[in-house]
Amino acid sequence: MNKLYIRLNSFDKILNFIKVADNLTYDIELTSGYYVVDGKSLLGIFALDLSDEIEVSIVGDKQKTNYCPKELERFLV
């Protein structure tokens, strides 16, 4: 599992992130504090504390060290 950190501090960023995540073939988990939600779920994302950084875990075939899909690079902190 690879971990990245993003910030989703606007509604447009959240919608764009979900569109990008939906097109990826592997699972994405978002973690904020004790909460872990599906990165492809709008309601799940709104359950997180969006004022702070969110940890992104990529689960799937692309489990390389420091792997970051090009599609997600624009959301990185």
In order along its 77 residues, the chain shows pLDDT tens digits of: 567 899 999 999 999 999 999 988 888 999 999 999 999 999 999 999 999 999 998 876 555 545 677 888 888 88
Contact residues for 29 (Cβ-Cβ < 8 A; gap 6+): 36, 37, 38, 39, 56, 57, 59
Q: By C-alpha distance, which of 50, 60, 47, 49 is closest to 13?
A: 50
Break the chain into its structural domains and give their ranges: 2-75
Q: Contact, 26 vs 58, CB < 8 A?
A: yes
Q: Contact, 29 vs 39, CB < 8 A?
A: yes
Domain covering 2-75 assigned CATH 3.30.1340.10 in the classification: yes
CA distances from 70 to 23, 35, 47, 58 (A): 12, 26, 26, 13
